Amino acid sequence: MNTAAPTTAHKKLVGILLTIVFALTCLPAALAVDLNVDAGFYFKQSRGGTCTLASAAMMLRRRAYFDGRTDWVDVTENSVRSTAWSNGLAHSFTYREMQVAYATLPSNHQEKTQLLIQLLAQHPEGIVLYDRTQPHAVLLTDYTNGVFYCSDPAGNISSGRIPLTSSSVSITRASCYWYVSADHNGAALQADDLRLEGMRYPVNVHTGSGMALTGTANSTSGSTLEGVQVAILDENDKIVQSAQAQVGGTSFSLKTLDDQIRFGELPTGCYTYMVIVTESSGETLCFASDFTVSDAATSTATYWSVQDPDGTKLTDQTITATAEETIQSTLGWLSGLFG
C-alpha cells in the first residue's frame, strides 16, 4: 500500500524511530552481528592432533567477534594454546574473560540431536563437537533449515562453514563437546537484552515472489515486550508497507505479521526492510537492511541475533566522534519520511 499520508500506525512508528535516533541504536544490517557470514572465523589446524584446540579457537574467535572485541582476529590456535592445551584440550579453561567447559552427550541419537539443536540456539558462537572413535573434533556452528553446519579443521576437508555431513564427524558418533559456559566481555550477555533470533531478511527478492517473515523477538530478562513493528521503505525512504502488533508478553513471532507484509507485490527497485521492537523497560531494538527487488535469482540470509555493531547492549552503545553527524543525518532522513 502507498502511504504518502501518514496513518496512526505510521505516526507511532515515527515516534519509535525518533526514540531510537536519540538513543543512537538504529542499526544497518551490515554493522550487526551475523555469525553465518564468514568474516574470517575459520582456519585449519596447524598440525596433527590439535583439532580440538583449533576448533575451540574458532569458537572463541566467533564469540569474541559477537562480543564486539576488536582483537577477535588475534584469537588463534597458538594464542589459545597456553591456557587451554596440555597434551590435549583441557576440560575447562578461561581465555580473555571467556570460560570454556566440557560435557558429554546422551547416547540416544534423538536425544543427542535435540540437545545439540538446543545448545546451538543458546550458543551462536558454536560448540566444539568431538568424535572419540576417530578421534576428531569440529566446530559445530549452527542448525539452519534442518541442517547442522560446521567448520572442520582437518586439512583434507573443505574450508569454511560446511554441512556437517560433508565433514569427518557425525552426530551419531559424537560423544562430547566443549562450549562457552560464561563470558564477561561487557554488557552483551546481561539478562535484559532484547534479541531478534532466527530472523530471515531479504537480500534480493525475485519480482512477484514472496518471502515469509520468520524469527522471534525475545526479552531475555523477562520484561514485557510492548510492541513490534515491521516496515518496508522505498529508495526515497517512504513507507510502502507496514505492520505492527501489541505484544504484552516476553516473546513474539514475526510470523504473526506475515500476511500484512507482501514482498511479492513490490515493484522492481531498492528497498529497506526494518523491524523495531520495544520493551516495557524503555529499551528499544531496531534492525534495518537494504534489499532489491529484481528479476535476478531470489536469495535470503539467515540472521541469528541482533545486538548492535559491537555486540553490546543497545542502550549502552558508545558512539565515536561521528555521533553528531549520525544524529543530523538520521534526523534529516526522518524529517522526509512522510514528506
CB atoms within 10 A of CB 49: 12
Whether CATH 3.90.70 fits 51-186: yes
Q: What is the C-alpha R_g of the chain?
A: 21
Residue intervals of the chain classified under CATH 3.90.70 are 51-186
pTM above 0.75, yes or no: no
Q: Point out which residues pair with 244 in neighbouring strands.
A: 229
Give the single-character DSSP code of 267.
P
* One-letter-per-residue 3-state SS of 226-266: EEEEEEEEECCCCEEEEEEEEEEECEEEHHHHHHHCCHHHC
Give the single-character DSSP code of 326.
H
* The pLDDT value given to residue 266: 92
The answer for residues whose C-beta is within 8 angstroms of residue 330's C-beta and 6 or more apart is 21, 26
Apex CA 321: angle with CA 315 and CA 325, to 5°? 85
Q: Point out which residues pair with 128 in neighbouring strands.
A: 139, 178
What is the C-alpha separation between 213 and 186, in angstroms, rounded?
31
Using a 10 angstrom Cβ sphere, with 0-12 exposed, 13-18 middle and 19 or more buried, the burial of residue 309 is middle
Helices assigned H by DSSP within the chain: 8-23, 51-67, 77-84, 109-122, 323-335
What is the C-alpha separation between 197 and 149, in angstroms, rounded?
17
* The pLDDT value given to residue 70: 81
The answer for residues whose C-beta is within 8 angstroms of residue 15's C-beta and 6 or more apart is none
Q: Point out which residues pair with 285 in neighbouring strands.
A: 277
In whole angstroms, what separates CA 60 from the centre of its chain?
Answer: 16
* The pLDDT value given to residue 33: 52
Assign 175 to helix, strand or coil: coil
Q: Residue 225 in contact with residue 286, Cβ under 8 Å?
A: no
* The pLDDT value given to residue 193: 63
* The pLDDT value given to residue 179: 95
Residue intervals of the chain classified under CATH 2.60.40.2550 are 8-24+191-335
What string of DSSP letters covers 25-79? -EEEGGGS--TTS-SS-----SSTT-HHHHHHHHHHHHHHHHHT-TTGGG--HHH
* The pLDDT value given to residue 296: 63
What is the C-alpha separation between 155 and 257, in angstroms, rounded?
46
> Which residue, 88, 2, 64, 9, is CA-closest to 265?
2
Whether CATH 3.40.630.10 fits 8-24+191-335: no
Assign 194 to helix, strand or coil: strand
> Which run of H or E residues covers position 200?
strand 194-206
- In a structure prediction context, what are the per-residue pLDDT tens digits for the chain, which is 339 residues long? 233 333 334 444 444 443 333 333 343 333 345 677 788 999 999 999 999 999 999 999 999 888 778 889 999 999 999 999 988 999 999 998 899 999 999 999 999 999 999 999 888 899 999 999 989 999 999 999 999 999 999 999 999 999 999 999 999 999 999 999 888 774 333 334 677 776 777 777 888 887 788 778 888 777 788 889 899 988 887 889 999 998 888 889 988 998 899 988 999 988 888 888 888 877 777 777 778 888 865 444 443 333 333 333 232 222 222 333 333 333 343 334 333
